[in-house]
Every structure is written in structure tokens, then in C-alpha cells.
Amino acid sequence: MRALVYNGPGKKAVEERPKPEISAPTDAVVKLARTTICGTDLHILKGDVPTCTPGRILGHEGVGVVDKLGNAVTTFKPGDRVIISCISSCGTCDYCRRGMYSHCVNGGWILGNRIDGTQAEFVRTPFADTSLYHVPVGAEEDALVMLSDILPTGFECGVLNGKVEPGSTVAIVGAGPIGLAALLTAQFYSPAEIIMIDLDDNRLEVSSRFGATKVINNKDGKAVEKIMQMTGGRGVDAAIEAVGVPASFVTCEDIVAPGGVIANVGVHGVKADLHLERLWDRNISITTRLVDTVTTPMLLKTVQSRRIDAAKLITHRFKFDKIMEAYETFGGAADTRALKVLIEF
């Protein structure tokens, strides 16, 4: 089969690999129909994720058809169309029983990280009964790819951890796909303001269409000053960091109101400064999280009911034989205006 392989920082290639086989009775092998590229894949290619070693097939998102099953799988059968969760959960360890699937001692975020992932014609998915979801009859599968990772990530790590409430003021630093997913799902809770901060006018224009009440381009470095003016010097109740660079985390520190929350979503490859000399007396909380995907069933219902139009996050489509071009498009989003790129098999 063909697969997109990570060969060390800055190196990737399409290679021929053996089709995966069932290696545990709880496994499924899924034939991919659609996958996508995540910002985390770009972090891996930068060398920010040391658990991902050269030779690994990348990717942790996708929709496909069950090809083979281990004899312990009871929820699925060959031919079922499924959503592949970015998190593999055994369902029985202490962390899984606490709903922290991302820290499953037997799984967690392993696809495209510690085991081969979904940017290939086939993928082996461990713990199929608790790591796959049925595709509803008649569902728009393009939209369902967004349920593998970015929608639950934006919702769980940003909105839930940020304690977004009715009437609250929210700032999301970073208007990429994850920031936009947080924007879409924050509206479940009717905050009074959702302010999007980015350096890209196109993404800010998209943010306005997606429901942001205000947008700020921080090219002039004055986003903090502008937010303080907007909020009467108070700051925001929830500052959601959706980039993964030190400057964006510090921006969140600078704009959070007393009693507020900084919810980190971004993948950080280098240290970021924590200014406790300014924050020690402000009654704030700082949260970190890797998506657990515990909200995926609920989000699937909201997508099915069109409460969220997840497909509008997709801006470009490619066939798998153009995946290198897809990476160039996604990595050059400032020029290509890419949000999510869909890769079809």
C-alpha cells in the first residue's frame, strides 16, 4: 500500500509499505476513504514530537471502511463505514475509567505518533470497539473527518477547559482550524463576546463569518492593548491559546481577567514564559489538555443536525497521489488560504 512516511525532521516521502495485519484480538484494519493533515503533523515534521520516530506513517484522522477485525471486536463488522478517533482507548485502564482517554496506558495518542497512522491506504486501529464510531446512514463523510480530532480538540481543550459560560468574554489566539473549531463550539454556551486574534486577514474574515463578534490582526503587536480597550481594562474571562508558540501563550497571560482561565490547546515544542510576577494574585487558572474525544458522540449529533457545519472548515481537496502537494498547501496557509485539506483515496 502507499503511505506518507516521516523520515526525520523536515523529511517525508510517499513509500510502499506492507498492508497492516491484525496483531491483537481487539484490532481493526480500516481501508481509508478520507484523511486530512493536522497542525500536529507539521509539529512532528519540525521535530517537536520526539515520541514520533523516523519511519512512522503519519496521520491520526480519517473515515473509512472496516476491512478486517480481531475476534474480540463485537461492535463492528467488515464493510462498516467508520470514523477513526485520533485517540485509541482501551476502555478499562484507570485513566480510561476516569474519561482521560488521551492518557490510556495501552493507547492514547498513538496513531501517527507511536504506531503507524492514517495517511495511508489502510491503517490498523487498536481497541476498535472504543476507538471507532459508526458513520450514520446518509452522513456527509467530508464533515465527519473533522470529528476525528479538531472539533473535539477545540471543544474539550479550549471551550470546556476554558469554562466558557453564557455572557462571558472569550478570546481565541489563533484562527487556524483548531481555533475555528473552538469558535464554532464556544457558541453552544452563548458567550457575550468571542474575539479572534491572528496575523492573517483571511482567517480573521473567516472567523467573522463563523461567528466571531470581533477580530484583531496582531501584526502591529497591539492586540493586548486593543483587547484591554474593548473590555474596559478588565481582560477576558477565557483566553484560549490555539497556536503553540511562546508569544501566543504570553498574549493569553496578558489579556486574562482576574478570575479567568487560560486554556492551552496548542502543541508547544519550546518553553514559554510564565509571568507569575504578574499573575500570582489574579485568581486565574491555567489548563492544559490533550483531547480525550469523550465528546465525540455528542459532537457527531450536532454535526448530523447541522448545528455545526463542520465541512466549511475544508478549503482544499486532493487525491492521495497529490499528498505532497497537500502538505505544501497546508503548510503554506498564509499564501494558500488553507484551513483543512481533505485527502481522498
Per-residue pLDDT at 269: 85
Same domain, 131 and 237: no
Q: Identify the sign of the CA torsion 199, 209, 182, 267.
A: negative
DSSP three-state, residue 124: strand
Q: How far is the CA of 248 from the CAs of 148, 268, 277, 296, in angstroms? A: 25, 11, 18, 27
Whether 143 and 264 share a structural domain:
no
| Residues 162-167, mean pLDDT to the nearest whole number | 98
Residue 193 and residue 65 share a domain: no
Distance CA 161, CA 159 (A): 6
DSSP labels for 324-342? HHHHHHHHTHHHH--SEEE
Cα angle 294, 300, 305 (rounded to 5 degrees) comes to 145
Q: What pLDDT sits at residue 110?
A: 98
**Do 161 and 53 contact (CB within 8 A), yes or no?**
no
Per-residue pLDDT tens digits for 205-218:
999 999 999 999 99
What's the mean per-residue pLDDT of the chain? 97
Measured CA to CA, the distance from residue 66 to residue 124 in angstroms comes to: 10
Q: Are 15 and 75 in a shared domain?
A: yes
Whole-Å CA distances, 102 to 219, 308, 338: 35, 24, 28
Do 177 and 227 lie in a common domain?
yes
- Residue 202's domain comprises 152-287
pLDDT score recorded for residue 50 = 92
Give the DSSP letter string of 258-311. EEEEEEE-SPPSS-----HHHHTTS--EEE------TTHHHHHHHHHTTSS-GG
H or E, element range at 11: none
Give the mean model confidence (pLDDT) for residues 6-15: 97
Domain count, the chain: 2
pLDDT digits over 107-156, tens only? 999 999 999 999 999 999 999 999 999 999 989 999 999 999 999 999 99
* pTM across the whole model: 0.95
Look up the CATH number of the domain holding residue 181: 3.40.50.720
Question: Domain boundary residue among 252, 267, 287?
Answer: 287
Among the candidates 287, 302, 332, a domain finishes at 287
- Separation in Å, CA 147 to CA 2, 62, 87, 218: 24, 9, 11, 30
In this structure, the answer to whether residues 217 and 201 fall within a common structural domain is yes
250 and 125 part of one domain: no
Instruction: Look at the chain and count its residues.
Output: 345
Nearest to 171 by CA among 237, 258, 247: 237
Dump strand ranges (E) for the chain.
2-6, 12-16, 28-36, 56-57, 62-69, 81-84, 122-125, 132-134, 169-173, 193-198, 214-217, 236-241, 256-264, 285-287, 314-319, 340-344
For 300, the grid coordinates are: 457527531
The cell for 333 is: 496557509
Query: With bands split at pLDDT 50, 70 and 90, how would you rate the model's confidence at 233?
Result: very high
Secondary element (H or E) of residue 152: helix 150-153
Burial (CB count within 10 angstroms: exposed 0-12, middle 13-18, buried 19+), residue 179 = buried
Which of 94-98, 285-289, 297-301, 332-336 has the lowest average pLDDT? 332-336
Query: Which residue, 81, 98, 203, 99, is CA-closest to 135?
Result: 81
pLDDT band for position 290 (cuts 50, 70, 90): very high
- Helix, coil or strand: residue 316: strand
Say if residue 145 is exposed, middle or buried (CB neighbours under 10 Å; 0-12, 13-18, 19+): buried
Mean pLDDT, range 291-314, rounded to an integer: 95
